[in-house]
Amino acid sequence: MNSKTIFEKSQENRVGIKLPPLDVDTSPILPEYLRRKAKAKLPELSEFDVIRHFTNLSSKNFSIDKNFYPLGSCTMKYNPKIIEKIASLEGFSSLHPHLITNDEEDSVQGALEVIDDLQNYLCEITGMEAFTTTPQAGAHGEMLGMMLIDSYHKEKNNKQKKYVIIPDSSHGTNPATVTMIGYKVITIKSDENGYMDFEEFKKKMNDEVAAVMLTVPNTLGIFNKKIKDLCDIAHEYDALMYYDGANMNAILGVVRPGDIGFDVMHINVHKTFATPHGGGGPGSGPVGVNHKLKEFLPDLGIYKKDDKYFFNKNMENSIGKISPFFGNYGISLRAIAYMKILGKEGMQNASKKAVLNANYILARLKPYFDVPYDMICMHECVLSAKSLKKKYEVSAMDIAKYLIDFNLHAPTVYFPLTVPEAIMIEPTETENKQSIDEFCDKMIEAVKLAETNPKEFLNYPKTLGVCRPDDTRAIKELDVRSIH
Amino acid sequence: MPYTAHTPSEVKEMLEVIGLQSEDELFSPIPNEAKAKAFDIPDGLDEWSAFDSFKELSKKNKVDKICFMGGGYYDHIIPSAVDALAGRSEFYTAYTPYQAEASQGTLQALYEYQSLACELSGMEISNASLYDGGTALAEAALMSVRITRRNKILIDGGVNPEYIKIIKTYLSFRDIEFEVIENIKDSSDIEKLKSKIDENIASYIFQNPNFFGSVQDFSEIVDILHSHKALAVMSSYPISLGILQDGGSLDVDIFCADGQSLGNYLNFGGPSFGMLATKQKYIRDVPGRIIGKTLDKNNKEMFVLTMQAREQHIRRHRATSNICTNQNLLALRATIFLSMLGKNGLVDMANMNYQKSEYLKSELSKIDGIDIYNDNPTFNEFIISTPKLATKLIDELNKKDFLLGVNMSKIYDGFDNKVLIATTEKRTKKEIDSLVNAIREVL
Ligand SMILES: Cc1ncc(COP(=O)(O)O)c(C=O)c1O
């Protein structure tokens, strides 16, 4: 397959853009010492060259519009096209953020209503008291959450607080965030049911614990039955409960973190509320809090008076800012548009079908794979290729590379870290039964292939032009930019 | 139900395979005490009603004015090809490229992005994007602390005030000291920097052009920093790099910028994306994803996520940053934008920004009572002082359908009658002349 870079396609003095005319009298150029010495070596192409290059590149991608994409923990659902149409309305996309600096509320009433609507929906969906839309992704929300927690303890003069408890099944962003805010991680192992070990938790819980960060349902797709007890115990020590809401898609209308007693949470609206993931972003990770943390929220809010929206600035106890202005406003807009289209029943139905699909996959594949936690799962199920590995030396990665050869994106593999040879499958609600069956059939065929001809796996994928990158070489002979 | 496909008989069939009677049983692992106490959400809308209601909302935003507002966010051209390509489902609806063979499109595009970012910035290596220009600087500050093992950051008062707030917030939770060295008028205060710099300083963060629009030569400052083994962190405006000194030739250690100007819409401030480029020797301290080229098992070239041992999914609490989802799509847009602009196009575009701004500057300075505040040369924006309060002047021009600029009195003390005005390649002579006339009328 042709993987020539855009630089290799460049032809000197070819031009891609006709700029608007330089229609003013010209002034002397800037003095030499301020000027760039050599031009940046950007490629020189026609518009059509560029179109063809990137169209060809795009054809080398799997995407949710084209492929079943059951990446666990990523909620790759279909993104309705109307949402993009709404987001590209000029009245939203061309709005200048410094209108906020200028306090020109009159020019941005529509935008502020979008934010207010989203915050209200999120409060109702989660049972939290207040939301901010400023975090730009889930991890950014976690960071803000930890800042709020730290502010709370500082204000209460809880000087002894140093630790944050996290289960070993947690997403990597959880511990990374804790360190970023200057706390230390206490990791608690999972018990035989996939829950955070309750006895161990009680043992580790003390006055020095600032917070407990839980993903609910967790990354094993399991709902912890003792969740309320965990909250109550943590609160006895004045530790705050953090809810990682990356997996909210499982429980819309069924569970609200605020009702259980969580103090702070983020929600990955780019997962649950259908923002296309763009090959890695942008996202948005609004943070919700209860009364304990409200006063510390980032220093730009909105309020409504006599049917008009105003900015709330210079909030006295605020942590300050973690993003410019309202964060990824364009993503907030997409989220609220999707929520309004789905409505109450649509959301409840989404969670039901997401959980139905995951359990159906689990039921169909149970006879063929190791199932570390054999129970009703939520929006995703985790299998293991441990026996395949042991018997036939066929790994989770081998299964993944086999699947992609049949236009099925692979599940998440090797995460959560607590499951050996983990295969984490999240089908989402938007997949129909036929595509799910096709996936299950392929998974079963993979097992058959392992039994009959395990060496064959090393040749997969066969049809994608490239097969099995040498990751060690990528690091040893580092090539992270074109030199031309 | 919208966007799900299950027919009643399929639901029944699936439940049978699972061994359950009803969909409600799927939620039986959830104890009653954890169940929602309310869920008062309005009924859903059909897409046409939804579109109409959002269209009405969008009309409550006033975007039909001629835009001279900048301050880090600019009304630049966006070629139609950018929307057409970045809007392709294959790019738009893919996840982070974890399965390399199934993501060569995204991976190669990002490798090209990193290459373009290096060309533009003059730096040796680049990551594959961060959230925005402000958080990129905050990450750069943390990176400089990791590299130097020192614990204090100095920030030039000419850095975008929105960014300064973000940097301060990030640092304040890490017990890293920081101090803003205020500018003297629109110039960096080198003497003050000299008096502050010592062996505790990890880095100095400056911006060119600075928030006042002024362009300066930072080479002396970079020398001072390096003589104290402190790092130089530069915040830049990508379009200006068509004609202004790049980070590499200034020998800065970390280069950051906001990528909005590279083919991205204003979006009321986000999403945009953050650039971070640096020297090769610092690669292990870089936050965020990095794409590399390697060979596959048949010795064919291919692209992969690399140097992942820095990242949260591998390194967990010892990661260089917690970032996971970034702003890939916006970086892709920048890649397409820069590929179209090309080597000469970028220079022409930068030059046009400069020339149009100089023209506006000279026309405005002909008006009695208007002073240009900047002592330094400027790129495409500058500050005017007028006899009127900035708030009033902006308001009056609003009524004449101009978005005059950033009200500096809202940001800095003593700037009551100062406005920051930007001119991009999109503004025509006619629009510039009509702005000048409008200002003349209201003064
Ligand atoms: C459980 C969990 N927590 C947190 C995150 C981080 O979210 P983001 O990628 O939006 O930063 C993810 C996403 O991958 C996740 O799956």
Residue B83 pLDDT > 90: yes
Q: How far is B320 from chain A (nearest CA, A)?
A: 8
Are B73 and A97 in contact, with CB atoms under 8 Å apart? yes
CB B424 within 8 A of CB B76: yes
Measured CA to CA, the distance from residue A335 to residue A268 in angstroms comes to 10
Other CB atoms closer than 10 Å to residue B37's CB: what's the count? 9
Q: Determine the Cα–Cα distance for residues B75 and B348; give it in Å rounded to an integer.
A: 17
Instruction: State residue B1's pLDDT score.
Output: 73
Q: Are A247 and A377 in contact (CB under 8 A)?
A: no
Average pLDDT over chain A, rounded to an integer: 97
Band (B330; pLDDT cuts 50, 70, 90): very high
Ligand 1 center to A26 CA (angstroms): 51
Asked whether residue A3 carries a pLDDT value surpassing 90, the answer given is no
Three-state DSSP at B339 gives helix
Q: Which CATH architecture has domain A81-342?
A: 3-Layer(aba) Sandwich (3.40)
- Nearest to residue B34, comparing CAs of A473, A216, A188, A385? A216
Q: CA A286 to CA A301: how far, in whole Å?
A: 13
Task: For B18-143, list the strands marked E by DSSP.
Answer: 66-67, 125-126
Cα(A275) to ligand 1 centroid in Å equals 14
Please say if the pLDDT value at position A404 is more than 90.
yes
> Where would I find the beta strands (DSSP E) of B237-289?
254-258, 274-278
Domains and CATH numbers, chain B: 66-75+348-442 (3.90.1150.10), 80-338 (3.40.640.10)
Q: Which atom of ligand 1 lies nearest, measured to the CA of A285?
A: 10
> A350-476 in CATH: which number?
3.90.1150.10
**Which DSSP letter does residue A186 get?**
E
The Cα-based distances of A380 to A471, B232, B279 in angstroms read 29, 46, 41
pLDDT band for position B2 (cuts 50, 70, 90): confident
Confidence check: pLDDT of A276 > 70 = yes
What are the CA-CA distances from residue B436 to residues A28, A140, B138, B388 (Å)?
A: 21, 43, 38, 15
The residue-averaged pLDDT of A214-225 equals: 96
Nearest to B426 by CA among B342, B360, B343: B360
* Per-residue three-class SS string for A41-72: CCCCCCHHHHHHHHHHHHCCECCCCCCECCEC
Looking at the DSSP bridge assignments, the partners of residue B187 are: B184
Which residue's alpha carbon is at the smallest distance from atom 7 of ligand 1? A138
Of chain A, the percentage scoring pLDDT greater than 90 comes to 99
Is B210:B216 a contact under the CB 8 Å cutoff? Answer: yes
**What is each CA distance from A411 to A142, A443, B148, in whole angstroms?**
25, 11, 40
- The pairing of strands B152-156 and B177-181 is parallel
The string of DSSP letters for A408-444 reads BPPPEES-STTSTTEEEE---TTS-HHHHHHHHHHHH
Q: What number of other Cβ atoms are within 10 A of residue A149's Cβ?
A: 28
Put residue B310 in one of left, alpha, beta given phi > 0 → left and psi -120 to 50 → alpha: alpha
Question: What digits encode the pLDDT tens for the residues A153-162?
Answer: 999 999 999 9
- The three-class DSSP label of residue A363 is helix
> Chain B interface, mutation test: which of A4, A51, A62, most B Cβ atoms within 10 Å?
A62
Q: Which residue has the tokens 């100089």?
A: B358
C-alpha to C-alpha distance for B106 and A59, rounded to whole angstroms: 10
User: Which H or E element spans position B407?
Assistant: strand B406-407
Q: Which of A312-316, B12-16, B287-291, B374-378 has the lowest mean pLDDT?
A: A312-316
Rounded CA gap, B331 and B337, in Å?
A: 10
- pTM for the complete prediction? 0.98
Same fold flag, A81-342 and A350-476: no
Segment B198-212 shows an average pLDDT of 98
A1 has a pLDDT exceeding 60 = no
Select from B99, B429, B145, B110 the least CA-distant residue to A466: B99
Q: Is B172 on the interface with A (CB under 8 A)?
A: yes
Distance (Å) of CA A399 to CA A177, A197, A411, A450, B414: 32, 31, 9, 9, 66
DSSP B313-335: HHHGGG-S----S--HHHHHHHH
Please state whether beta strands A422-425 and A412-413 pair in parallel, antiparallel, or not at all (unpaired). Answer: antiparallel
How distant is the alpha carbon of residue A235 from its chain centre?
28
Chain B residues lying within 8 Å of A353, measured CB to CB? 1, 4, 6
Residue nearest to atom 15 of ligand 1 (CA): A246
Over its C-alpha atoms, chain B yields an Rg (Å, rounded) of 25
Joined tokens for residue A36:
């760039």
Out of A71, A73, A140, mutate this one to test ligand 1's pocket (max ligand atoms within 8 Å of CB): namely A73
CA proximity to A220, closest of A72, A75, A352: A72
DSSP one-letter code for B188? -
pLDDT band at A2 (very low <50, low <70, confident <90, very high): low
Query: How far is residue B409's CA from residue B417's CA, in Å, rounded to a whole number?
Result: 7
CA-to-CA distance for A266 and A285, rounded, in angstroms?
Answer: 6
- Distance between start and end Cα atoms, chain A: 21
Q: Hunting for tokens 């360190």 — which residue is that?
A: A179
CB-CB neighbors (< 8 A) of A50 in chain B:
81, 85, 336, 339-340
Instruction: Please tell me if the CB atom of residue A137 comes closer than 6 angstroms to any atom of ligand 1.
Output: yes
* CA nearest to B86, candidates B115, B110, B51: B110
SS3 track for A73-137: CCCCCCCCHHHHHHHCCHHHHCCCCHHHHCCCHHHEHHHHHHHHHHHHHHHHHHCCCEEECCCCC
Q: Residue A46: pLDDT above 70?
A: yes
Task: Answer whether B309 contacts ligand 1 (Cβ < 6 A).
Answer: no
- DSSP E strands in A281-349: the ranges are 287-289, 301-305, 308-312
Best CA proximity match to A324, nearest among A468, A134, A120: A134
Residue type for position B390: A
Q: Which amino acid is at A16?
A: G
Tell me, what amino acid is at B89? S
Please report the sign of the dihedral spanned by the C-alpha atoms of residue A349, residue A354, residue A357, residue A362: negative
A291 burial level (CB within 10 Å; 0-12, 13-18, 19+): exposed
| Number of neighbours of residue B315 by Cβ within 10 angstroms | 17
Contacts of A356 in chain B (CB under 8 A): 6, 11, 14-15, 18, 23, 26
Instruction: Look up residue B134 and give its two tokens.
Output: 């402000």
- Nearest CA-CA distance, residue B368 and chain A, Å: 21
CA–CA gap between residue A15 and residue B342 (Å, rounded): 7
- Burial code (b: 16+ CB inside 10 Å, e: under 16) for B378-416 equals bbbbbbbbbebebbebbbbbbebebbbbbbbbbbeeebe
Cα–chain center distance at B346: 18
Each domain of chain A, given as residue ranges in start order, spans 81-342, 350-476
Q: What is the pLDDT of residues B89-141, one digit of tens each?
A: 999 999 999 999 999 999 999 999 999 999 999 999 999 999 999 999 999 99
CB-nearest to B93 from A111, A276, A357 is A276
Flag if B217 and A34 touch (Cβ within 8 Å): yes
* Closest Cα in chain A, distance from residue B29 (Å): 6
Give the C-alpha separation, B298 to B300, whole Å: 6
Alpha-carbon span B128 to B286, nearest angstrom: 11
Provide the β-strand partners of residue A309: A304
Contacts of A450 (CB under 8 A, 6+ apart): A388, A391, A392, A394, A398, A457
Report B:270-309 residues touching A (Cβ under 8 A). Answer: 270-271, 273, 283, 289-298, 300-304, 306-307
The pLDDT tens digits for A224-234 are 999 999 999 99
Give tens-digit pLDDT for A348-397.
999 999 999 999 999 999 999 999 999 999 999 999 999 999 999 999 99
Percent of chain A with pLDDT over 70: 100
The pLDDT of B303-324, averaged and rounded, is: 93
Which residue bears the tokens 């080198």? B190
Which residues in chain B touch residue A111, judged by CB atoms under 8 angstroms apart?
A: 61, 268
Alpha carbons A78 and A249: distance in angstroms, whole number: 13
Instruction: Measure the CA–CA gap between A354 and A378, rounded to whole angstroms.
Output: 8
Please indicate whether, in this complex, the C-beta atoms of B61 and A139 are within 8 angstroms of each other.
no
Q: pLDDT class for A293, splitting at 50, 70, 90?
A: very high
